[in-house]
Structure 1
Amino acid sequence: MTKLIDQLTGAPSRRAVLAGLGAGAAAVSLPGLARAQDKTLVVSNWGGDWNERTIKFVEAPLVESQGIKIVRDLGMEPERKAKLIAEKRLRRGTIDVIHINEGDSVELYAQEVIDNIDFSKVPNYADVVPALKSKPFFVPWLYSGVTIIYNKDKVPNPPKSYAELWDKKWAGKIGLTNQLYFNYIMMAGLIKGGNVTNTEEGKARLIELKELTQPRIYAAHQQLGAGLVNGEVDIAVNYKARGLQWANDGAPLAIGYPSEGAIAVMFGAALPKKAPSPDLSLIYFNAMLDPKAMAGLAGASFYAPANSKAELSPELKAKVDFTAAEAAALKFPDYAHVAKNTAEWLEWWNKNIAR
């Protein structure tokens, strides 16, 4: 498995690009075929506002409008990944599309539970930013970076780097979310001249951060955003896109790009190997990458779109994307390293930070 993961991560650098830019009997006996004829598609996705936007811009207008019934299996990614892996022993699975981040796609491919995608049958994939086409088993969709979000009314001199968070003056003022546990471990490893694979030292530094500042730990993004709005915390470490969403809702928030370079994140989807209706999955992937849908998603979510033909206004593009210098400084995770360690990291986070 290690050898396979290493082979999967030899993708070209993205930084330059980001800177610029018997049939009847079988139908009865095989439930998967019956489902396909009934045009039912099971989509594993996050819940909350992420799922609401997926429905609004992709699923309702572009998939369900074709007469395809979508059954939504919602939850956090560790549970959804575990379910997919557990179905490996079955002759046929229950999930047709799984929404995941790029790192999870590497892990699941190494586990042999997601499949290569025939992108010749996904026409909109041709317009994806070339540097994001790094894996044959992953549909790139939206991307952002882990930044420092702060209440500009209460924090006149905000941290300008990840490292500056390690200061007693921020005691009780920092908010983190369990959803980004792996990003925080990489962030802590990155400071003081480190890198995103310096994660053993990163874990030790997170213990130091906990002792210095006693950060509030929230279950999910939405709760962290509420904590910023109601004054429970003044600073959050989260995706730029999330900060822009909360500011757009009226919160007095600003976003600082860390001097170390923000840790990049990309979200998308994958095709389970035992998907009951893989042909419908391809229709779904094409809808995800529809340029109009992607423009709508960018405007609502403030994530940068993977489709280069998504028509964003200059103002929106400047808001959701990164400057040339910021894009060049983005820190892309070593997904081979992440895939080998993520399960142990989650256990460590739950025992040492989340409780």
Structure 2
Amino acid sequence: MTKRIDRPFGHMFGAPSRRDFLVGLGAAGMGAAGVAAGATLALPGAARAQGGSLVVSNWGGDWNERTVRFVEEPLVEGKGIRITRDLGMEPERKAKLLAERRLRRGTVDVLHINEGDSFEMFSQDVLTEIDFSKVPNYADVVPALKTRPYFTPWLYSGVAIIYNKDKVPNPPKSYAELFDKKWVGKVGLTNQLYFNYIMMGSLLAGGTVTDGEAGKAKLVELKELVQPRIYAAHQQLGAGLATGEVDIAINYKARGLQWRNDGAPLEVQYPEEGAIAVMFGAGLPKRAPSPELAHVYFDAMLDRKAMAGLAGASFYAPANGAAELSPELRALIDFTPDQAAALKFPDYAHVAKNTAEWLEWWNKTITR
């Protein structure tokens, strides 16, 4: 029987804390020195086999498009492995896998997910531990990000304030400054980040991200004071910024950089309270029909060239310390040492207990 491990951030058997790692990253960047030689070796056993089929559960839109372009087509389908893509928002995809727990064999081999949801899915017997000996490129992942044996870390960012520099000459420098009537109708939120917004409210109410009730009360205050526009997904929010429907968005730094790269006159403000951190990756469903091929997929996700391509296209920072990024790109997508030190890492045990109730509350209270 495998032993379940849920180590809190910063307690990884002597490894530097995640925040310590990010501070170092902001100061000097992630170097490729010391990369394990085993990272270039072929996968053992059945994972070397060509062919077979794989079902990948992922978000749709531009996120999936980049996944296909940099990972799936060249590094997985290029091996002759057929991929069926099961695309959708995370609540629906999580519900599907929760329903499959009673089945002897499930329908999904790879689950794209954020770190918090991975904790929840493992706690509910949906995900299983990954055999990272079958994922050679995992050796390149910086040690401070190897926090969960059931989660392949991939890309990370933080929740920042994104604004139209042509229309907002004096942008809010903190989450707290968004609570001002001068921003009525000018702030955009997305349903995809409901849990981050509750954490933001909690941070403002009491200095931590774990008081959900206080966080919800602050969001009600924001709704009444600012009347934010609510968008279904990131893409719609980005379009709202581009067309001038809203002037400010609370979203990932990476998304702001993406939209600016697409031509929108945007800038990104790191909040004075410290940005709420987020990391994305993938997990292995316990009842996956093709677990060996799932390990091939995880290795492809962490390919250093693939991760460099993803970073350049998405502006998320890569978990692979050997990703081949230019110094200019690394400086753009990383955080400064002070910003890294101020990042707020969620308590995912707390999130897992509350996320379903939070989503129901968000839908009934904020989106209506």
Interval of TM-score (by shorter of Structure 1 and Structure 2):
over 0.9
Aligned with residue 207 of structure 1, among 220, 224, 232: 220
Which of 111, 115, 121 is residue 102 of structure 1 equivalent to? 115
Other structure's SS at 1:191 match = helix
The 3 A distance-change label for structure 1 pair 37 and 89 is farther
Offset, 1:194 = 1.7
DSSP-derived class of the 2:250 partner: strand
Counterpart Cα distance in 1 of 2:158 and 2:326: 21
Equivalent in the alignment of 1:29:
none
Q: Does 1:111 align with 2:124?
A: yes
Deviation, structure 1 residue 199: 1.7
- Cα distance in 1, alignment partners of residues 340 and 213 from structure 2: 27
1:120 matched residue in structure 2:
133
Is the contact made by 2:190 and 2:237 (CA closer than 8 Å) also made in structure 1?
yes
Distance in 2 between residues matched to 1:73 and 1:198, nearest whole Å: 34
- Where does 1:210-221 land on structure 2 (aligned, <5 Å)? 210-221=223-234
Query: Residue 32 of structure 2 aligns with which residue?
Result: none
Amino acid at match of 1:129: V
The structural deviation recorded for 1:19 is 1.2
Q: 1:256 aligns with which of 269, 273, 276?
A: 269
Given candidates 3, 6, 12, the residue that maps to 1:8 is: 6
- Paired residue secondary structure (1:260): coil
Q: Give the counterpart letter for 1:8 in structure 2.
A: D
User: Shift of the alpha carbon at 1:10?
Assistant: 2.2
SS of aligned partner of 1:276? coil
- Tell me the residue number matched to 2:353: 340
Report Cα offsets for 1:209-254 as digits up to 9, x if no partner: 0000100000000000000000100000000000000000010000
1:222 and 1:150 mapped to 2: Cα distance? Answer: 16
TM-score by length of 2: 0.90
**Cα deviation 1:133-179 (Å, max 9, x = unaligned):** 00000000000000000000000010000011111000000000000
Task: Tell me by how many angstroms 1:107 deviates.
Answer: 0.2
Paired positions, count: 338
Tell me the distance in 2 between the aligned counterparts of 1:311 and 1:136.
25
Aligned 1:15-164 pairs, distance under 5 A = 15-21=19-25, 39-164=52-177
Report SS of the residue matched to 2:236.
helix
Indicate the residue corresponding to 2:43 in structure 1: none
Identity %: 77
Task: Decide whether the 8 Å contact of 1:166 with 1:209 is kept in 2.
Answer: yes
Secondary structure, counterpart of 1:158 in structure 2: coil
Task: Name the residue aligned to 2:185.
Answer: 172
Identify the range of structure 1 (208-217 vs 190-199) with the bigger mean alpha-carbon deviation.
190-199
State the Cα distance separating 1:11 from its structure 2 match. 3.5
Partner of 1:8, secondary structure, is: coil
Give the superposition deviation at 1:191: 1.3
- For 2:122 and 2:344, the matched residues in 1 are separated by 23
Give, as a single letter, the amino acid of the residue that structure 2 aligns with 1:105: S
Contact 2:205–2:214 under 8 Å retained in 1: no
Give the aligned CA root-mean-square deviation in angstroms: 1.5
Confirm or deny: 8 A CA contact 1:163 1:192 kept in the other structure. Answer: no
Contact 2:187/2:248 (8 A) holds in 1: yes
Unpaired runs of 5+ residues, structure 2, are: 11-16, 26-45
**Which consecutive residues of structure 1, in runs of 5 or more, have no partner in the other structure?**
22-32
Alignment partner, residue 303 of structure 2: 290
1:83 corresponds to which letter in structure 2?
K
**Residues 74-126 of structure 1: per-residue CA shift (max 9 Å, x gap):** 00000000000100000100000000000000000000110000001100001
Tell me which amino acid in the other structure corresponds to 1:274.
R
Aligned mates of 2:8, 2:77 — CA distance in 1: 37
Instruction: Quote the Cα distance in structure 2 between the aligned partners of 1:306 and 1:129.
Output: 7
Pairing 1:195–2:208 present = yes
SS in 2 for 1:316: helix
What CA deviation, in whole Å up to 9, does each residue of 1:252-305 have, x standing for no partner? Answer: 000000000000000000000000000000000000000000000000000000
Instruction: Kindly indicate whether the alpha-carbon contact (under 8 Å) linking 1:155 and 1:234 is maintained by their aligned counterparts in 2.
Output: yes
The one-character-per-residue Cα deviations of 1:285-344 (angstroms, maximum 9, x if unpaired) are 000000000000000000000000001111100111101110111000000000000000
Distance 1:45 1:100 in 2: 8
Secondary structure of 1:112's counterpart equals coil
Cα distance between partner residues in 2 of 1:271 and 1:8: 16
Ranges of 4+ aligned residues in structure 1 off by more than 4 Å: none
Instruction: Give the secondary structure class of the aligned counterpart of 1:332.
Output: coil
- Relative to the length of structure 1, the TM-score reads 0.93
d(CA) in 1 for partners of 2:143, 2:333: 19
Question: Counterpart amino acid of 1:167?
Answer: D
Assess if the C-alpha contact under 8 Å between 2:202 and 2:216 holds in 1: yes
Is the 1:9–1:334 Cα contact (8 Å) retained in structure 2? no
Q: CA deviation at 1:354?
A: 1.1
CA contact (8 A) 2:50 2:81 kept: no
Kept in 2: contact 1:9–1:335 (CA 8 A): no
Instruction: Answer whether contact 2:205 2:218 (CA < 8 A) is retained.
Output: no
Distance 1:54 1:249 in 2: 18
2:248 partner amino acid: I
SS for the counterpart of 1:354 is coil
